[in-house]
């Protein structure tokens, strides 16, 4: 490259040690007018400095506005159901100077570790820069295709959809779909690159590319492409072979040589060679280069993301993560970390300056965009036919179920079912219901517990088909919430199955409809506070212990934006001597890394089924199933939002409460063949007596302190009351229900209705909007909206609550209500009720379904306690509390907890008869024996060998010989008492471990050894066993819980001597009584408050149960360190009773040091101080 008589040979930039504040450096090598080769170097402004590299301040582009990067949301923006609302999310272009161009090589976070851009952020950047089109070409991924197309449609930008694929010889080609056929080719190609290769190591071969090349444009990839790699190595013959191969595949008209000017040492020479190749082969050149971040100053965040993905530290060029699988061709891969910060998104003006001598390369990008059709994504797919005539088949199935599930079929019931069927069939969803019906029938035949949840429960047809255990007709549920008459909403058939059998249900669907027609929806993990802390900390070589210490204390709504302030405002962080200076880069990069995808995995429930092959619509790939250490499942590359564009999605959900009920069923059916939990009555008064007396520890959907308190305050008396509690509490602190007002009205506070129509809709909830359907009904009745319009308004009020959506539409709704003849006062009251329901809420059917599971669980716990707690412990994690608390509750209810015993314990908790205090008497089902899975670190293979072995074992040495545990496994089995039946001295067995392993090796069968008898070695004598305290602490350390009794029971005498009381005694105190309780603080909650002040809730556990504790901000600021970090604490305070429900208002929290810990010389208990409920 020559300028002003000077030939520039090379020009490159290095980012330098940005983490140390070292500025970037630019080096230029040239030949002057006298032919002398020279080299110069200059420093550039530091990346953290807002000054532009050329000396002027960076322009504040439109794409620097906070609105450019969309926040991650749970659901997409609802459509406009009210004409008074205008879309305001369109970004107006501000920078249009310079010739237009199209960025053809943009990577998003869906390239995982390569970019920090979000897929739906890219069109906003393009729109702000005035660009006509933009191409997203993520590595082996079309995950962002729908997001890109949707946002491009809003912004008026043409979407180009492609992917970057690595070839066997190294380097990545960029392929862009020219039309719909090209998109299908690309989807199939990406699928084959994933499924035909080891998981996490996709690779494109030339044979695959040859099979799937129709409708694709090919770019050579710039610096990361195979052509530039060959030219940089001066392998010109290899470059010619590559060009010829690509021309054979695509033809010269669909190949573009990508010229990248990212200031690399070889860049000028490679560009010169590319121009020669373009002239020789008649190929077009285009400006390009991978774009991975918004601004040059954002490079440190992108660099950290690469380090996190490749397991590298910032001081390292290459990471420790293998780039390829051992079975794949081994090539010398270029580092993924960039040498400099030049991969940022450039405006037209910046590109015009960069390619001032080559405007034809910018024009080439426009040519590529013009060759591509604007909409290449496929349309909706259809479900496979479940019957030749789905409409008739659904009629027959519903008619059969109508008589099976209802004792009496009244004319009103038949009319309701016929009305629902007419709508379902008219809108074309009969086949949809039949697929779900077939799935549920199979599950029922297999003995799998399930029940419907969500709005599907609102359909009487669901009860007839067996989806739901709630009769929508009996409870007068609102069908329009599930399926509006105008068909604007697709029905969501959400079914909760047992967690342990959910994969079986998925397998059934796959086997029935075909491997290529069924797959799980993807879920994308992304950077949040803890992930950012760990990623940046590891990259910057901060010790793992320090990172872990801080990360474990990031809780209670600490967001990336508030990380810096949290270290000063949170006492548990403030008093931990954490240096904010050491973590300064964490704080600087937090906002840029927020929501950037880090991984793709299987969604917990979403499954798509398609009549046509899925790969014609979206690529498939492998994901770990989570159920089997070696098993993989196929997932589509779209998340649930993108999947809605093309697929019918079924949610194969799981609820651990189903596992608990199934466990009870399987145990009791051995004694009573006709026992079925489905048939248990939910009308038993004892169920609701237990609920309102706060006996709900271990009850799925009802165990939390908030639920327990609500049941007690509302005086739950039936299933409908229980559903009010579910709807009022389960949505969380952001819930929409005014529960305190509801409780007050239920207990006599006067209220009235200003119109009979209001009473008809809100009468059963005391004039309060409790359920989502009630908002729909108000909108339909008073405002005259259709069911679909009402649903969109209701969803909009919640989803757009931060944009005051409700306030913007209230005038239009008010006018509509008045126009329908309602008085202005009534209209105002109705609109206030509607727009105030902006938090998250439940459908009434959903609340009833959860309440029904709780009711059956309470019945089982009250009537079959041993079987229930055994099933509950088997189903862990199931519910609010962990095994330690559940075991404590089992003891409180009179059950004896039996330790792990290698001679009798299996894979599940067992119910056993136990001896009473009178040795001549036995208590049937008086105890539960822990299973082998409670032993920390015991592998599945060892557990399998123990269960399969001929038991009992003859001796300690016989056990080691036959089971072959490793040293850590054997040590844990000894310390928790699992081998006490083989030898009574645990310390002696620890001493004998060496001789036991040596003995096991000596008797192991071998072809080189004669089968001789070997006597067992002697057990060490005169070894003093662990004392009582040491054994109890060792058991707690290995099992994570106490066997005989809670650890604090051993401290009770000492605590009483100082005036302390138990949690149970505190619960019986009158309002205003003062005292102190010693316990284990668990389940810390940090809900947000309107004032911004911190309120902390936690449970204090001792041998008598739980006490709910409240700490206001002043107490938290003084004692937060003790609350969060103390394994045991003394809490002083006062009893407060609300509707006779007791809680403890703390005034001081002081660490407590149990005497039993001081007496022990072995490991301390490892039970967690608190498991945080992350905000």
Residues 278 and 210 in one domain: yes
* Distance separating alpha carbons of residues 413 and 298, to the nearest angstrom: 63
Does the pLDDT at position 20 exceed 70?
yes
Choose the final residue of a domain: 656, 679, 698.
Answer: 656
Mean of pLDDT over the chain: 86
Does 1033 fall in a domain?
no
Does 514 fall in a domain?
yes
* Distance separating alpha carbons of residues 890 and 113, to the nearest angstrom: 47
Choose the final residue of a domain: 43, 58, 74.
Answer: 43
The rounded Cα 452 to chain-centroid distance in angstroms is 22
What pTM was computed for the model?
0.84
* Distance separating alpha carbons of residues 328 and 531, to the nearest angstrom: 31
pLDDT tens digits, one per residue of 324-353: 999 999 888 788 889 999 999 999 999 999
* CA 463 to each of CA 393, 458, 913: distance values in angstroms, whole numbers, following the listed order: 17, 9, 40
Q: Write out the DSSP string of 40-75.
A: EEEE---TTS-B-TTSSBPP--GGGSGGGSPPP-SS
Least reliable range by pLDDT among 54-58, 180-184, 373-377, 796-800: 54-58
Q: Report strand pairing: 1129-1138 vs 1074-1085.
A: antiparallel
Residues 112 and 201 in one domain: yes
Does the pLDDT at position 1169 exceed 50?
no
* Distance separating alpha carbons of residues 393 and 385, to the nearest angstrom: 11
Maximum average pLDDT range among 1-5, 54-58, 809-813: 809-813
Which domain CATH number covers 429?
Answer: 3.30.1900.20
Residues 990 and 971 in one domain: yes
Contacts of 865 (CB under 8 A, 6+ apart): 890, 893, 894, 895
Nearest one of 720, 1044, 682 to 862, comparing CA atoms:
682
pLDDT tens digits, one per residue of 926-967: 999 999 999 999 999 999 999 999 999 999 999 999 999 999
Residues 695 and 825 in one domain: yes
Q: What is the band of 552 on the pLDDT scale with cuts at 50, 70, 90?
A: low
Which domain CATH number covers 915?
Answer: 1.10.150
Q: What is the mean pLDDT of residues 271-289?
A: 95
SS3 450: strand
Residues 946 and 1020 in one domain: yes
User: What's the token pair of residue 69?
Assistant: 């990067």
Residues 978 and 966 in one domain: yes
Which domain CATH number covers 272?
Answer: 3.20.20.140
Nearest one of 576, 494, 581, 573 to 542, comparing CA atoms:
581
Does 581 fall in a domain?
yes
Does 456 fall in a domain?
yes
Residues 353 and 483 in one domain: no
Nearest one of 969, 982, 981, 991 to 1038, comparing CA atoms:
969
Secondary structure, 3-state, 881-902? CCHHHHHHHHHHCCCEEECCCC
Does 967 fall in a domain?
yes
* Distance separating alpha carbons of residues 590 and 455, to the nearest angstrom: 38
Asked if residue 100 lies in contact with residue 164, where contact means CB atoms within 8 angstroms, the answer is no
Residues 649 and 700 in one domain: no
Instruction: Return left, alpha or beta for 651; rule: phi > 0 is left, psi -120 to 50 is alpha, else beta.
Output: beta
Does the pLDDT at position 93 exceed 70?
no
Residues 665 and 625 in one domain: no
Domains: count for the chain: 7
pLDDT tens digits, one per residue of 767-790: 999 998 999 999 999 999 888 888
Asked if residue 364 lies in contact with residue 286, where contact means CB atoms within 8 angstroms, the answer is yes
Residues 679 and 697 in one domain: yes
User: What's the token pair of residue 283?
Assistant: 């190929």
Q: What is the band of 52 on the pLDDT scale with cuts at 50, 70, 90?
A: very low
Does 413 fall in a domain?
yes
Residues 418 and 534 in one domain: no
Which domain CATH number covers 1134?
Answer: 2.40.50.140
Residues 650 and 665 in one domain: no
Q: What domain range is 579 assigned to?
A: 528-594
Does 867 fall in a domain?
no
What phi, psi does 1172 have (nearest 5°)?
-80, 140
Q: Report strand pairing: 910-915 vs 1141-1151.
A: unpaired
Does 80 fall in a domain?
no
């Amino acid at each position: 490259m020559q300028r002003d008589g000077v030939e520039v040979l090379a020009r490159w930039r290095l980012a330098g040690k940005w983490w140390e504040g070292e500025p970037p450096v630019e080096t230029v090598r040239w030949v002057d007018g006298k032919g002398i080769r020279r080299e110069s170097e200059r420093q550039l402004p530091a990346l953290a400095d807002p000054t532009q590299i050329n000396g002027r301040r960076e322009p504040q582009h439109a794409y620097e506005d906070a609105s450019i990067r969309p926040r991650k949301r749970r659901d997409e923006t609802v459509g406009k159901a009210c004409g008074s609302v205008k879309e305001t999310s369109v970004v107006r272009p501000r920078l249009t100077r310079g010739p237009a161009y199209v960025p053809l090589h943009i990577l998003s976070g869906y390239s995982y570790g390569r970019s920090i851009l979000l897929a739906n952020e890219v069109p906003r950047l393009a729109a702000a820069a005035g660009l006509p089109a933009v191409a997203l070409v993520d590595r082996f991924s079309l995950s962002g295709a729908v997001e890109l197309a949707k946002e491009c449609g809003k912004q008026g930008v043409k979407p180009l959809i492609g992917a970057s694929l690595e070839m066997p010889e190294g380097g990545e080609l960029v392929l862009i779909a020219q039309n719909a056929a090209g998109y299908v080719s690309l989807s199939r190609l990406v699928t084959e690159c994933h499924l035909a290769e080891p998981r996490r190591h996709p690779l494109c071969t030339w044979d695959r590319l040859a099979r799937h090349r129709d409708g694709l444009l090919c770019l050579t990839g710039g610096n990361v492409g195979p052509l530039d790699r060959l030219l940089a190595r001066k392998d010109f013959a290899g470059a010619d072979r590559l060009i010829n191969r690509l021309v054979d595949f695509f033809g010269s008209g669909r190949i573009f040589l990508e010229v990248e000017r990212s200031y690399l040492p070889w860049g000028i020479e490679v560009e010169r060679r590319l121009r020669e190749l373009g002239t020789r082969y008649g190929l077009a050149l285009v400006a390009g280069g991978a774009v991975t971040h918004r601004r040059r100053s954002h490079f440190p965040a992108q660099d950290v993301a690469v380090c996190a993905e490749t397991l590298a530290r910032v001081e390292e060029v290459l990471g420790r993560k293998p780039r390829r699988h051992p079975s794949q061709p081994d090539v010398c891969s270029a580092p993924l970390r960039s040498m400099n910060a030049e991969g940022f998104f450039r405006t037209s003006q910046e590109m015009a300056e960069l390619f001032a001598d080559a405007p034809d390369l910018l024009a080439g990008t426009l040519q590529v965009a013009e060759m591509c059709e604007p909409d290449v994504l496929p349309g909706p797919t259809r479900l496979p036919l479940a019957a030749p005539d789905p409409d008739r088949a659904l009629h027959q199935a519903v008619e059969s179920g109508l008589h099976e599930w209802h004792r009496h079929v009244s004319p009103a019931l038949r009319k309701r079912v016929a009305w629902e069927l007419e709508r379902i069939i008219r809108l074309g969803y009969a086949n949809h219901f039949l697929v779900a019906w077939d799935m549920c029938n199979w599950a029922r035949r297999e003995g799998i517990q399930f029940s419907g949840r969500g709005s599907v429960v609102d359909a009487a047809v669901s009860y007839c088909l067996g989806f739901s255990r709630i009769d929508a007709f009996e409870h007068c549920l609102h069908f329009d919430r599930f399926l509006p008459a105008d068909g604007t909403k697709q029905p969501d058939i959400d079914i909760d199955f047992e967690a342990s059998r959910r994969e079986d249900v998925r397998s059934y669907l796959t086997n029935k409809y075909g491997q290529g027609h069924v797959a799980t929806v993807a879920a994308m993990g992304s950077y949040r506070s803890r992930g950012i802390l760990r990623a940046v900390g590891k990259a910057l070589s901060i010790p793992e212990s320090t990172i872990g210490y801080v990360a474990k204390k990031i809780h209670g709504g600490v967001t990336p934006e508030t990380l810096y302030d949290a270290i000063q405002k949170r006492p548990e962080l403030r008093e931990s001597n954490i240096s904010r200076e050491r973590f300064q880069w964490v704080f600087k990069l937090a906002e840029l890394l927020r929501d950037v995808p880090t991984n793709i995995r299987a969604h917990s429930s979403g499954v798509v089924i398609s009549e046509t092959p899925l790969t014609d619509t979206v690529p498939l790939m492998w994901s770990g199933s989570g159920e089997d250490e070696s098993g993989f499942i196929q997932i589509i590359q779209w998340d649930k939002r993108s999947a809605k564009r093309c697929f019918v999605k079924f949610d194969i959900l799981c609820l651990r409460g189903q596992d608990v009920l199934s466990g009870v069923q399987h145990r009791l059916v051995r004694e009573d063949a006709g026992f079925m939990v489905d048939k248990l009555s939910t009308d038993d008064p004892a169920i609701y007596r237990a609920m309102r007396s706060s006996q709900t520890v271990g009850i799925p959907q009802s165990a939390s302190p908030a639920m327990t308190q609500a049941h007690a305050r509302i005086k739950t008396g039936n299933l409908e009351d229980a559903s009010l509690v579910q709807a009022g509490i389960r949505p969380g602190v952001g819930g929409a229900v005014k529960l305190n007002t509801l409780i007050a009205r239920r207990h006599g506070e006067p209220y009235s209705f200003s119109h009979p129509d209001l009473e008809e809709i809100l009468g059963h909830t005391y004039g309060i909007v409790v359920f989502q359907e009630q908002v729909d009904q108000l909108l339909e009745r008073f405002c005259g909206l259709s069911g679909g319009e009402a649903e969109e308004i209701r969803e909009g009020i919640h989803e757009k609550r931060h944009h005051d959506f409700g306030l913007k539409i209230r005038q239009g709704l008010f006018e509509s209500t008045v126009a329908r003849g309602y008085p202005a006062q009534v209209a105002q009251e109705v609109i206030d009720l509607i727009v105030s329901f902006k938090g998250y809420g439940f459908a009434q059917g959903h609340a009833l379904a959860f309440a029904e599971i709780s009711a059956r669980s309470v019945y089982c716990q009250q009537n079959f306690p041993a079987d229930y707690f055994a099933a509950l412990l088997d189903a862990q994690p199931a519910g609010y509390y962990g095994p330690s608390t559940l075991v404590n509750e089992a003891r409180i209810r009179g059950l004896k907890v039996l330790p792990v015993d290698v001679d009798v314990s299996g894979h599940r908790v067992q119910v056993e008869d136990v001896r009473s205090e009178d040795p001549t008497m036995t208590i049937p089902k008086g105890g539960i024996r822990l299973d082998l899975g409670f032993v920390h670190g015991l592998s599945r293979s060892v557990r399998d060998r123990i269960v399969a072995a001929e038991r009992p074992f003859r001796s300690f040495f016989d056990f080691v010989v036959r089971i072959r545990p490793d040293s850590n496994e054997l040590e844990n089995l000894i310390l928790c008492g699992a081998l006490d039946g083989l030898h009574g001295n645990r310390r002696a067995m620890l001493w004998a471990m060496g001789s036991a392993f040596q003995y096991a090796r000596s008797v192991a069968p071998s072809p080189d050894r004669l089968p001789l008898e070997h006597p067992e070695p002697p057990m060490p004598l005169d070894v003093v066993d662990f004392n009582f305290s040491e054994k109890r602490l060792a058991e707690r350390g290995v099992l994570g819980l106490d066997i005989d009794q809670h650890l604090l029971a051993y401290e009770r005498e000492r605590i009483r001597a100082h005036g302390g009381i138990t949690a149970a005694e505190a619960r019986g105190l009158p309002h205003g009584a003062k005292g102190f309780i010693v316990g284990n603080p668990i389940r810390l909650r940090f809900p947000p408050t309107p004032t911004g002040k911190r309120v902390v809730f936690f449970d204090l556990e001792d041998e008598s149960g739980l006490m709910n504790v409240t700490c206001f901000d002043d107490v938290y600021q003084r004692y937060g360190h003790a609350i969060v970090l103390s394994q045991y604490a003394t809490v002083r305070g006062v009893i407060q009773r609300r509707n006779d429900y007791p809680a403890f208002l703390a005034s001081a929290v002081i660490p407590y040091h149990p005497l039993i810990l001081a007496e022990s010389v072995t490991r301390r208990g490892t039970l967690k101080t608190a498991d945080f409920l992350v905000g």
